[in-house]
Amino acid sequence: MAGCLMGQPAFSDSFSNPVIPGYAPDPSIVRVGEDYYLTNSTFEYFPGLPIYHSRDLVNWELIGHALHRESQIDLDSADSSGGVHAPTIRYHDGTFYVIVTNIVHNKPVNLIVTAKDPRGPWSEPYILDDAPGIDPSLLFDDDGRAWYTGNWHPPDPEFEGQAEIWLQELDLETMQLTGDKHYLWRGCCQGAHAEGPHLYKKDGYYYLMLAEGGTGYEHAVAIAISKSPTGPYLNNPRNPILTHRQLSYDHPITGVGHADLVDTPDGRWFAVALGWRLIDSAHGILGRETFLAPVIWETERYAWKKERYTFPVIAPATGRIELTNALPSPDAGQTLDTVFIDDFDGEDLDGEWNMRRTHDRRFYSLDDNPGFLRLEAGPGFIGPRARYSFLGIRQRDFQYTAETRMHFDAEGDDEAGLVLMQNDRSVVSLTVRDGTLRLLRLLNGDWSELGSAAVSGRAVDLKVRADYLAAEFLYRSPGGEWRTLANDVDLTSLSPTVIDGFNYTGVYIGLYATGNGRPGGYADFDYLRYEPTAPSRDNWYFR
């Protein structure tokens, strides 16, 4: 049994943002008939590129992954926040396309996977030659041509780090770029990094929308218009069309950007965009999440202009991504329950589970001890670009409890337990080793012990009770009373703000086993239960 993003209806006339809570950055969306499909960046995690489905834009169900076989993607030694960046999902003539960048040893590789059914299976990748830069996107024009857009660093930048959006035709027979490259736009704001382009066609015009300003406080979305896909593109004088850069650092939602547009069957428009919900104006432990906002189209009112253009206006009532909005479909209430329970009785792992990186051999089993998840205590252990026995689910709430029961015959250097992980440099672990339960913190290469206790017997229950940036860690013998190992543990070490390097992901709650450098035994886990504990998700900011 496992959970997904559903539960009891919220308010009858409104929905809560984010519509996909927890680590869900760089959203891209497409509509096919009355069905919407959405995907996000997943960086070093596998399976990669979740495919979510919705019929109403606010209730989303995970139905699969576009990258679900190790043969599709090279993540073996991906850096933390390397790997799979900024996908775009589109549909054309009976086929779904997901195009994405994979950062391999600091070099971008752009690729496409396709499927007839978004639930899969998805194809082996088509690797694009001579496709520099990141953040690719596709437009299928009504004349049958397909256009690729991406970004690159031009040889004549006007400032350090400047990027430019370029376009080239994609041959759908060879799945390779063809013809000339066209260099379209460097954005509207000097000093901003142009990325995340999407090209749309509406009422005979082409619209080039992009993200600018990085993914922090200055993030923004801008748009330009042209009569031809190859340009020239004219800047919307009201750019940026979405940003929170003008708001204070303690605004509930910040860093909004990297948007994608979608229309509804009845002709309305919406945008999905990423954003941060920061604790204490600084700590985005959940990572960037997926938010939804209404969109209208307005025509310029300058009577003196010979041609007045029409541009999208995101969140027209306030100009901001709001914590609550009117429901797109008033007769379909939003469901908000993020409870996840997996008792490992199924034949396959629930789709919510991810591992870090791809592996050359299976390190887990649901068959060796039916009703349990068995993790091999292999030689790999937590460290930069390492592969190790870890399976986790996204933390989707600021207040929650997570609990597991572990059966473990610890021998030698074998270690296993419950782990909170931001990346290879940021971990809080509750693990058993050599008869001792230890609470450890990893931050930027340094491990420190926060508490320990002797445990006896093969089975132990482990629990974390988290409250924003503090947590209590507990343990017990099955059927016994819970004991606190450590209380009021500071979790700011899981915040991207205090971790070295790039940090594009969010916290995972996971199960871990290692032989700490040598082949070891195994640990069996009976279940994982994750439950939000806040009375309402809507008032998280007013703690």
Q: What is the mean pLDDT of residues 272-291?
A: 96
- Catalytic site residue from 44, 164, 195, 260: 195
pLDDT for position 5: 46
Per-residue model confidence as pLDDT tens digits over 58-112: 999 999 999 999 999 999 999 999 999 999 999 999 999 999 999 988 899 999 9
The pLDDT value given to residue 335: 87
Read off the pLDDT of residues 382-414 as tens digits, 9 standing for 90 and up.
999 999 999 999 999 999 999 999 999 988 899
Quickly state the pLDDT bin for 9 (edges 50, 70, 90): very low
Q: Residue 11: pLDDT above 80?
A: no
Q: What CATH number is attached to the domain comprising 360?
A: 2.60.120.200
Q: Indicate if 177 and 139 belong to the same structural domain.
A: yes
DSSP labels, 409-424: ---TT-EEEEEEEEET
Dihedrals phi, psi of 172, to nearest 5 degrees: -75, -15
Check whether residue 322 and residue 345 sit in a common domain: no
User: CA 245 to CA 508: how far, in whole Å?
Assistant: 28
If one counts every other C-beta atom within 10 angstroms of the C-beta of residue 519, the result is 10
26 in catalytic set? yes
Nearest CA to 520 among 419, 414, 392?
414
Query: What is the pLDDT at residue 423?
Result: 97
Q: Is residue 421 situated within a structural domain?
A: yes
**Spatial contact of 41 and 87, defined as CB atoms under 8 Å apart:** yes
Prediction pTM value: 0.96
- My answer on whether 416 and 292 are in the same domain is no
Provide the percentage of residues in the chain whose pLDDT is more than 90.
90
Is residue 8 domain-resident?
A: no
529 shares its domain with 478: yes
Strands 254-263 and 269-276: antiparallel
Last residue of a domain, one of 326, 350, 377: 326
Q: At residue 190, does pLDDT exceed 90? A: no
311 & 449 share domain = no
DSSP states of 226-291 as a string? ESSTT-PPEEPTT--SEE-TTS-TTSSSEEEEEEEEEE-TTS-EEEEEEEE--BTTTB-TT--EEE
Same domain, 514 and 477: yes
Same domain, 151 and 289: yes
Q: Assess whether pLDDT exceeds 60 at residue 3.
A: no
142 shares a domain with 116: yes
468-517 pLDDT per residue, tens: 999 999 999 999 999 999 999 999 999 999 999 989 999 999 999 999 99
Encode 184-210: b = buried (16+ Cβ within 10 Å), e = exposed. Answer: bbbbbbeebbbbbbbbbeeeeebbbbb
In a domain, 499, yes or no: yes
Question: Which tens digit of pLDDT belongs to each residue from 290-313?
Answer: 999 999 999 999 889 889 999 999
Tell me if 204 is assigned to some domain. yes
Mean pLDDT of the chain: 95
Indicate the number of domains in the chain: 2
Write the pLDDT tens digit of every residue in 214-268: 999 999 999 999 999 999 999 999 999 999 999 999 999 999 999 999 999 999 9
Q: Is 403 a catalytic residue?
A: no
pLDDT at 477: 95
Structure confidence by residue, pLDDT tens digits, 317-331: 999 999 999 999 888
The strand pair at 483-490 and 242-243 is best described as unpaired
d(Cα 419, Cα 401) in Å, to the nearest integer? Answer: 13
Residue 30 resides in a domain: yes
**What is d(CA 123, CA 126) in angstroms, rounded to the nearest whole number?**
8
Query: Does residue 440 register a pLDDT over 50?
Result: yes
Among 299, 326, 353, identify where a domain stops. Answer: 326
Residues 6+ apart with CB under 8 A from 150: 110, 131, 132, 133, 134, 135, 136, 137, 165, 166, 197
- With respect to residue 4, please indicate whether it lies within any of the assigned structural domains: no
Residue 83 and residue 232 share a domain: yes
CATH, residue 319 = 2.115.10.20
Q: Is the pLDDT reported for residue 37 higher than 50?
A: yes
On the question of pLDDT at 136 being above 70, the answer is: yes
Q: Are 197 and 345 within one domain?
A: no
Region 136-156: what's the mean pLDDT? 97
- Does residue 5 lie within any of the structural domains? no
Full residue range of the structural domain in which residue 226 is found: 20-326
* Inter-residue long-range contacts of 244-252, CB under 8 Å, 24+ positions, other chains counted: 244/217, 244/219, 244/275, 244/320, 244/321, 245/213, 245/217, 245/218, 245/219, 245/220, 247/320, 249/217, 249/281, 249/282, 250/281, 252/277, 252/323, 252/541
Q: Are 73 and 199 contained in the same domain?
A: yes
Region 442-460 average pLDDT = 96
Write the single-letter amino acid at 490.
D
**Residue 11 maps to a domain:** no
**CA–CA dist 183, 150 (Å, integer):** 10
- Which member of 26, 352, 376, 414 is catalytic? 26
- Given a cut of 70, is residue 1 above it in pLDDT? no
Could you tell me if 267 and 412 lie in one domain?
no
pLDDT band at 12 (very low <50, low <70, confident <90, very high): low
Query: Amino acid identity, residue 510?
Result: G
Last residue of a domain, one of 298, 326, 354: 326
